[in-house]
Structure 1
Amino acid sequence: MVREELLSRADAALAEGRWGDARSSYEQALADEETGAAYFGSAIALWWLGSNRESVDRCTRAYTLFRRSGAETAAARCAVWLAITYKANFANFAAANGWIARAERMLAGLDPGSLHGWVWVARAYRLPDLDTAEALSSKALDVARSAGDADLELVALSQLGLVLVGKGEAGPGFALIDEAMAAALAGDRSTLDTVVYTCCDMLNACELTDDVERAAQWCRVADDFVRTYGCPFLYAECRILYGSVLAATGRWDDADRELCAGVQLTAHTYPALHTRASTRLAELRIRQGRLEEAGHLLDDLGVGVEARGEQALSLAALLLARGDAHGAGRTLEPQLRPLEQHRTHLTTALDLLVDAYLTVGDLGKSAAAARRLTEIAARTDNDRSTAVAAGAAGRVAAARGHGAAAAADLEAALRAWSRLELPFESARTRVELGRVLADRRPEVAVDHLRRALATFETLGAAREADRAAAVLRSLGVRCRARTGKPGLLTVREKEVLRLIGAGLSNPEIAARLFVSRKTASHHVSSILAKLDLRNRAEAAAYVATVLGPRRGSDLL
């Protein structure tokens, strides 16, 4: 078969989503002659099959061959593809920006056209500066409509929608994404890549707004698409983003399953998605009170004092949960300016800072952070911003001894969280209300605290349940004891618990059981979670006082 026929057959297979056939035909064509077109087509097929690094290598080779042959436009298209792939798959923004700059240089001097629009989309893709991302996406949308490029139009439309959602304009943002999704799924595009772009934007927007119903709907659509065409990237991103929404809405068992699947699916294939999955799972572990596991997840990602963006938010939440308010503040303060355009993430950062400042007794800084939250809420006008701002104002007012103002703000926050149907946030607000109302309206305070305790116990938020129970006990209300039982443990976990009771450290446990230190640490974290214990000291006390010497020795 002549090379032209092989390429034609490969291109047809690629357009129809027959990735294996496309790859095979491109390989046959390359065996006959190495061309940029065959390498580029092979790169796309390999990406859909999940061979990401090989895909990048093929696209880089295609770029080189196009440049050598003087096909500058084709080379620029390769550069755009590489830029987006480096961002989406590997979170390598330095490499991505290099390829974008290369594409811009090759297109310099040409009248703006469709390929310029793709460069602007690549530049705006996952850009933290949402004002710039909005301007670039809008430019791309305009040029797409002028050039009649349906794929560019839909990608720019959905990306612009996601940017608006990130800026707190959920209504207009989702309207654009809905339009892009409907058109892409109806066939108003020439490539299946467009469906992946728009679907990922939709799911990211659902995560930002904790919209579980919309997320579930589009995850079903995405899963149907994956069953037909493959695409491990989209399947993994669905698991991660849907799991994040489930965690926010209190379906923690389902969230755990989805996020753990996301971590496993991306471990060796999609570094960017793996980081996101691990970060989201760490956030769930923090809420569950499983702080050691959360720490391991962030440590494995190399998240430290220089963390940025969403990873900085997760690290700060962990530090705050561990009682290191100063560390949380040091982590968050440098992030305020970079997050300024991303109101959703900025809101989270400021809310954490309010708690950090209150913990160290800095009422001035906590009040300033709360005021910024109120300003953001006034600009965005949605329930989430309202709830966060009102809750922060209420906590600051309570710290200042302004009980009536604190109660009014916290009640407003509770109403907003209830409308959003976010149980964890609602329960935490009830605990704050219980503290504020304890002296003036003790019966109402007890009701709020009991409802919060019930919610935390249902969710499995052990640390928060302990706090609610402690406040109830301070008001003279008896609470149920912990329900953790050694029967929940695996055989290996029972071995580890016995060794904790004997005073062994994690390295000593690892040596005794011939496992790695990391594995020993994970066993300890699992034991603490299952038995509702805060740390290994409590685990040792549990063996000594709850089980007693005989039962402790019988754990094996």
Structure 2
Amino acid sequence: MFVGRTDELDTLSDALARAEAGEPQALLLGGEAGVGKTRLVEEFATAAGRRDAVVAVGGCVEIGADGLPFAPFSTALRALRDALPEEFAAAGAGQEEELARLLPELGEATSSRHDEQGIARLFELTVRLLERVAAEHPVVLVLEDLHWADASTRHLLAYLFRTLRTGRLLVLATYRSDDIHRRHPLRPLLAELDRLRTVRRLELARFTREEVARQIAGILAAEPDPAQVDDIFERSDGNAFFVEELAVAACEGCCTGLTDSLRDLLLVRVETLPESAQRVARVVAEGGSTVEYRLIAAVARLTEDDLIEALRAAVGANILTVTPDGDGYRFRHALVREAVADDLLPGERSRLNRRYAEALEADPALVPADAHMMRLASYWYHAHDAARALPAVLDASVVARRRHAYSEQLRLLERAMELWDSAPEEVRCALRPFDCTEVPPSCGRDQATTPLRYLDLMAEASVAGRFGGERERALKIIKRALRLLEDEPDPLRAAWFWVQRSHLVQAQARGDGWQELATAQELVRGLPPSEVHAEVLAHVASWRMLHQPGPDAFAAAERAVQYARMVGAREIELHARLTLGGLMIDAGDTESGFAEMFHVKEDALREGVRGVAGRAFVNLPSALQAVGRSRESVPLLREGIAFTRRFGLVDTEAWVWGNFSDSLYALGQWDEAADAAANALRTRHSVKPQGSGALRLAHLALARGELADAARHLATAGARYGSHDPTPQQSLRVARVAIGVAAAEGRIHDARAELSRALDSGFPPGTHRYAWPLLLAAATAEADARALPAAAADRAGILDRLHETVRKLTIGAPLWGAYERWIRAELHRAVGTDTPDTWSEVVTAFECLDRPYDLARVRHRLAQALLTEGGEDERDRAVELLRLAGAVADHLGARPLADAVARLARRARLTLTLPHARLRSRGGTPIPRQALIPADPAEALGLTSRERDVLRLVSAGRTNRQIAEELFISPKTASVHVSNILSKLGVSGRGEAAAVAHRLGLFPAEPLTAPTAG
């Protein structure tokens, strides 16, 4: 009989209803051991199945106090694949190699060189797989026993809860609340998830006396004696499992000898079993939370008939139960297993673990292939046999690494370091370096013949710690390694450790990492070319490009390319060539630099070097945008988004979205730019890419006059970027927006302080792309503040510094030349010496560029100068300039510019209203599209450019999800756009909207592409 839990079932049913409506749900179910979590989940799963939901259950597997990496996700995904094979195959198409790390049946996981984004890539692809499978079918994903979860499972669950946004999916995870002590690893995760508004947490309370009475009645099939209910309720304190044990004990007449110890209560029924059944129970208790039948037979060493009789007795007594797949056995309740395991003697425990290990070595097929190495390592370790445990632990660490279970890999490597001195020398000498090690083989050793060294373990452990987010542990290991290398000098190995330390110092916000890189560079100076040497130089070049661009960075990049080619380090060569191409552009060799970057991108894509390809999709469009070639960057950025999404390059995708926002902003597509920036900000792996999204939103809000939002986003960007590792591409962009916000709020002295800090730091080669917009913001602020008495002080000095800085900056691109003219015009305006000729040059410069907002701004300034002249011809020209500038400002929602245009028109008593026909042409000459979006039926209906894109796809019959995928927005945003369109068109449905679009001829000949996955 299922007792109570009405409120909890209602909560779960409500969550399922929300999930069925397309709003994914996440719930945590906690409660002490025995309180009834599993029974509640089973009851809910049955109800969900009656509502045609697919229920996929996976539990954390404990083996000798070790969790199996990703065990609950692997089991649940396997169940999901069995239930929806076609949908699962379609959702995971193209990503089988990566997803095989969780589900080996999909193929063999790639063993390519790993990177820091590897685990984030796996997590992102897993979330997308679940979202796609649950797009059409309601799915309930149940993950049980989180208190046993390995670190990788906890990280994946946290990622899933944070990023799940679409799909008819409900995720329900359970854990024992009484096991979560102050230092339990699950505790920080629960605290983190509690802060998420999307996660609900349920705590199962113990039964009341009335519920205990109903439970006992169900067990005994009769109304219990009230005194018996009182006794059991008092002794069990309402714990459902203990109620059952006490009720059964009373029914069987064996309660008289019980003590008050709950442990004795759990053991008493085991002790009533036949001796052979007790022996089997002890074997199963030490084997793990679930043990396969054939493995039990190999360890118990009973005849088949005796084993079956023993198992029958244990199952009949409700001590053991058959696993759902029918291949093994587990204790009906983990509390009984723990009591039986705790009752084993130390020698008995070691002997059982040895038997398990020997059985697995003799026949690996006794357990699933994906669990074999991990379980063998655990059994040998707990058998306290260092000679057998060390090789097994190292083999298991390689398996963990291939699955991106870096936290488990680190724990196993730490065990290997613990076992190292205890293992016989002949065992250590027989070990070979790892096949997939991050430590390059050219550290002066032949991996085929040279034994594994203790330093190899430390190197592998430091990388595992860095990739798995265990950075403090990794730093400690590197510190110990460098201390050992002081006694046994090995410059290449030491240089490699210093490079790793540089990564960690930057990741931990403890510095910019240069001191560590400089030490590594000194260690390899004068040594023959090697992979380590090439890697050090490549990192030095990359660091200098970001922090101190110039000749030193160029020289390091050139040597890195040369050395990488000499030793055949292709990935390092491609990274260095990409850096070199960017430095060539910064040095003025623009076309050669772009050619090199395009070649690297194509080479990386062709050779499958995804890390370099992803970086190319960030750096190449950024360089194009920097020199004013924004329209060229857009198709590259779209390709980059598709590429990074396909391969789960989460951080890289965020950087691409940030650059996409820049290009769309420059091209006058501000709604789309805001969506792109929001996508960058939503990325949840690393914080710096989120900073790029926040900064773009701040810049956009500033241009639209939303100062409070601009200040808020600017603060977010500053927090995400941090202050430990300032780079010009971040600090100068932040300063530019900060100057704009301060000036717009009338804080001219704060704006000057920001400018002074930037000028004091200087603008070395490579930073000009960020310097020109910053100087323009400062010059504009000074010109706007000309009439403020408070701004008179120090103005001359500020203007002189601006003049001097502009004079020294490189004008290596048409955009930079246009900025130079604009800044000089603003400086003239700041002292009242600007003329129509001054601004005409600026307008002419921007008319050649694809930047409608910038062109509108300088047209407004030219109109202002013309009206100051006062002639009739000048007034006519000013009217048209203001109409063009105002139309663009209105279209973009640039309120400050629109207000400035309106104020100027009012002061000059001008009328700007003009029929659409005259807005289209001037003397028969079409107005450039970038200057003014032509009037058309969509504009007349008040549709924005994004709503027009959505309407085009609605007319083609796309669903909200397909629209979201094609336009790179969320389904919720697509739904909002569709609702707005229906309202503006005055129709009630999508079909009517499509009919109106067809009748008006909005999309007469636009080819439609099929929606793409991802």
TM over 0.5: yes
Match of 2:851 among 380, 400, 422: 422
Change (3 A) 1:380 1:225: same
1:162 aligns to what?
A: 582
Counterparts of 1:96-175 in structure 2 under 5 Å?
Answer: 96-107=513-524, 110-111=527-528, 113-124=530-541, 125=543, 126-131=545-550, 132-167=552-587, 169-175=589-595
1:289 aligns to what?
A: 705
Change (3 A) 1:137 1:380: farther
CA contact (8 A) 1:128 1:339 kept: no
User: When you count strand as a share of all residues, which structure comes out higher?
Assistant: 2
Q: 2:864 is aligned with what amino acid?
A: R
Q: Secondary structure of 2:683's match? A: helix
1:393 aligns to what?
A: 824
CA contact (8 A) 2:537 2:560 kept: yes
Match of 2:600 among 169, 174, 180: 180
1:466 aligns to what?
A: 899
Q: Secondary structure of 1:20's match? A: coil
Deviations 1:98-154 (A, max 9, x none): 321342354356345443333233233253322132233233233333444322221
Match of 2:887 among 454, 464, 481: 454
Q: Aligned partners of 1:426, 1:8: CA distance in 2, in Å?
A: 63
Q: Aligned partners of 1:175, 1:167: CA distance in 2, in Å?
A: 14
Q: Aligned partners of 2:403, 2:911: CA distance in 1, in Å?
A: 63
Counterparts of 1:508-547 in structure 2 under 5 Å?
Answer: none
CA contact (8 A) 1:137 1:160 kept: yes
Q: Please report how far the alpha carbon of residue 459 of structure 1 lies from its aligned counterpart in structure 2 after TM superposition.
A: 0.6
Q: 2:534 is aligned with what amino acid?
A: G
Change (3 A) 1:5 1:290: same
Q: Secondary structure of 1:110's match? A: coil
Q: Please report how far the alpha carbon of residue 186 of structure 1 lies from its aligned counterpart in structure 2 after TM superposition.
A: 1.5
Q: Secondary structure of 1:467's match? A: helix
Gaps of 5+ in 2: 1-372, 374-387, 419-453, 786-790, 914-1014
1:201 aligns to what?
A: 619
Q: Please report how far the alpha carbon of residue 294 of structure 1 lies from its aligned counterpart in structure 2 after TM superposition.
A: 1.1
**Greater CA deviation, 446-455 or 350-359?**
350-359
Q: 1:183 is aligned with what amino acid?
A: D
Change (3 A) 1:167 1:429: farther
Gaps of 5+ in 1: 481-556
Within the alignment, does 1:322 sit opposite 2:741 as a pair? no
**Greater CA deviation, 217-226 or 151-160?**
217-226
Q: 1:456 is aligned with what amino acid?
A: A
Within the alignment, does 1:351 sit opposite 2:776 as a pair? yes
CA contact (8 A) 1:165 1:174 kept: yes
Change (3 A) 1:423 1:59: farther
Q: Secondary structure of 2:470's match? A: helix
1:445 aligns to what?
A: 878
Structure of greater Rg = 2
Percent identity (aligned): 20
Deviations 1:55-107 (A, max 9, x none): 675476367447647565345334324535655x67x4725123213423543
Q: Please report how far the alpha carbon of residue 302 of structure 1 lies from its aligned counterpart in structure 2 after TM superposition.
A: 5.2
Change (3 A) 1:479 1:380: closer
Within the alignment, does 1:248 sit opposite 2:666 as a pair? yes
Q: Please report how far the alpha carbon of residue 230 of structure 1 lies from its aligned counterpart in structure 2 after TM superposition.
A: 2.0
User: When you count helix as a share of all residues, which structure comes out higher?
Assistant: 1
Deviations 1:232-291 (A, max 9, x none): 21122112221222222221111111212222324xx42322333222221111111111
Q: 1:272 is aligned with what amino acid?
A: K
* CA RMSD in angstroms, aligned pairs only: 3.7
CA contact (8 A) 1:66 1:72 kept: no
**Greater CA deviation, 382-391 or 426-435?**
382-391
Change (3 A) 1:339 1:113: farther
CA contact (8 A) 1:26 1:39 kept: no
Q: Aligned partners of 2:614, 2:472: CA distance in 1, in Å?
A: 18
Match of 1:83 among 485, 502, 507: 502
Within the alignment, does 1:336 sit opposite 2:769 as a pair? no
Q: Secondary structure of 1:253's match? A: helix
Change (3 A) 1:274 1:411: same
Q: Aligned partners of 1:38, 1:219: CA distance in 2, in Å?
A: 40
Change (3 A) 1:289 1:41: farther
Change (3 A) 1:398 1:170: same
Q: Secondary structure of 1:421's match? A: coil
CA contact (8 A) 2:634 2:663 kept: no
CA contact (8 A) 2:410 2:464 kept: no
**Structure with greater contact order relative to length (CA < 8 Å, sep ≥ 6):** 1
Q: Secondary structure of 2:848's match? A: helix
**Greater CA deviation, 392-401 or 332-341?**
392-401
Q: 1:162 is aligned with what amino acid?
A: G
Q: Secondary structure of 2:547's match? A: coil
CA contact (8 A) 2:718 2:734 kept: no
Deviations 1:479-538 (A, max 9, x none): 68xxxxxxxxxxxxxxxxxxxxxxxxxxxxxxxxxxxxxxxxxxxxxxxxxxxxxxxxxx
How many residue pairs get aligned? The number is: 463
Change (3 A) 1:339 1:134: farther
Change (3 A) 1:227 1:350: closer
Q: 2:825 is aligned with what amino acid?
A: G
Within the alignment, does 1:407 sit opposite 2:823 as a pair? no
Q: Please report how far the alpha carbon of residue 433 of structure 1 lies from its aligned counterpart in structure 2 after TM superposition.
A: 0.5
Deviations 1:348-394 (A, max 9, x none): 23222322333346468537635653653xx4332111111112233
**Greater CA deviation, 466-475 or 106-115?**
106-115
Q: Aligned partners of 1:369, 1:180: CA distance in 2, in Å?
A: 38
Q: 2:687 is aligned with what amino acid?
A: P
